[in-house]
Amino acid sequence: MNDPARLAVLLSGSGRTLENFLAKIAAGELPARIVAVVASRGDVRGVEVARDAGLPCAVFRRKDHPDPAAHSAAINAWLASFLPDIIVLAGYLCFYVPPAGFAGPVVNIHPALLPKFGGQGMYGDRVHRAVLAAGETESGCTVHLVSERYDEGRILGQAKVPVLPGDDEHALAARVFAAECELYPRVLAELARARR
């Protein structure tokens, strides 16, 4: 198909991954367009990134809903009119339940080589500190399908980076994020091209 895949992006933070997607789309490397952005907080830079790019953006705070199912249902009701082909978690820190009957993939990226260093509460610098504490010689990132359990969906792609002597979590995080910036758009491009 020549028509670009319609992406809905869910984020909770700085919007760096969203910026990367926009750059890859503009460069012709990601055959997609972002049709909607959801943020779990209103005070994050990701909201500004979305609005500066002219993207529809809505904030759905977890604390405004009684449980993850209700939170996800509110998000999904808002997303429905945008008809996304792929729902993309981009530094999204809330548990997400995809819409019932949604035909497209729902994907996430994790800043480690799953199945290691995944699960509830394992995000951001917590992951990198755990990798360093375990004495690992390599780390990386994993793109996977979202399932009913944190970080346990089918793996779609991984990229490895070395853990270097003297690394702290910030140095390792920077190296992993650079790998994420290449891996995530590449996997999304494959999914976009594989649509029926």
Q: Which CATH number does the domain housing residue 150 bear?
A: 3.40.50.170
Same domain, 94 and 165: no
What is the arithmetic mean of pLDDT over 158-174? 97
pLDDT of residue 196: 55
pLDDT tens digits, one per residue of 91-113: 999 999 999 989 899 999 999 99
48 occurs within a structural domain: yes
pLDDT of residue 23: 98
Q: Which residue, 92, 137, 95, 85, is CA-closest to 110?
A: 92
Same domain, 100 and 112: no
Per the listing, tokens 């690394």 go with 167
Per the listing, tokens 């604390």 go with 63
What is the value of pTM for the model shown?
0.95
Position 2 confidence tier, pLDDT thresholds 50, 70, 90 = low
pLDDT tens digits, one per residue of 141-162: 999 999 988 899 999 999 999 9
* Cα–Cα distance for residue pair 157/174, rounded to 1 Å: 19
What is the arithmetic mean of pLDDT over 46-60? 97
Same domain, 143 and 94: no
pLDDT tens digits, one per residue of 112-132: 999 999 998 899 999 999 999
Instruction: Look up the domain containing 171 and give its range.
Output: 108-183
Residue 128 annotated to the active site: no
Q: In this model, does residue 56 exceed pLDDT 70? A: yes
Q: In this model, does residue 86 exceed pLDDT 70? A: yes
4 occurs within a structural domain: yes
- Number of domain units in the chain: 2
Given 50, 69, 104, the domain boundary residue is 104
Per the listing, tokens 């249902």 go with 73
Same domain, 79 and 10: yes
Q: Which of 110, 128, 144, 170 is catalytic?
A: 110
Phi, psi for residue 17 in degrees, rounded to 5:
-70, -40
Same domain, 37 and 78: yes
Helix axes 169-193, 16-26, angle to 10 degrees: 40
188 occurs within a structural domain: no
164 occurs within a structural domain: yes
Same domain, 36 and 63: yes
* Cα–Cα distance for residue pair 147/155, rounded to 1 Å: 11
Q: In this model, does residue 1 exceed pLDDT 50? A: no
193 occurs within a structural domain: no
Same domain, 52 and 95: yes
Question: Which contiguous run of DSSP H or E holds residue 32?
Answer: strand 32-39
What is the arithmetic mean of pLDDT over 9-30? 97
Same domain, 24 and 117: no
Position 195 confidence tier, pLDDT thresholds 50, 70, 90 = confident
Same domain, 146 and 163: yes
What is the arithmetic mean of pLDDT over 186-195? 94
Phi, psi for residue 135 in degrees, rounded to 5:
75, 25
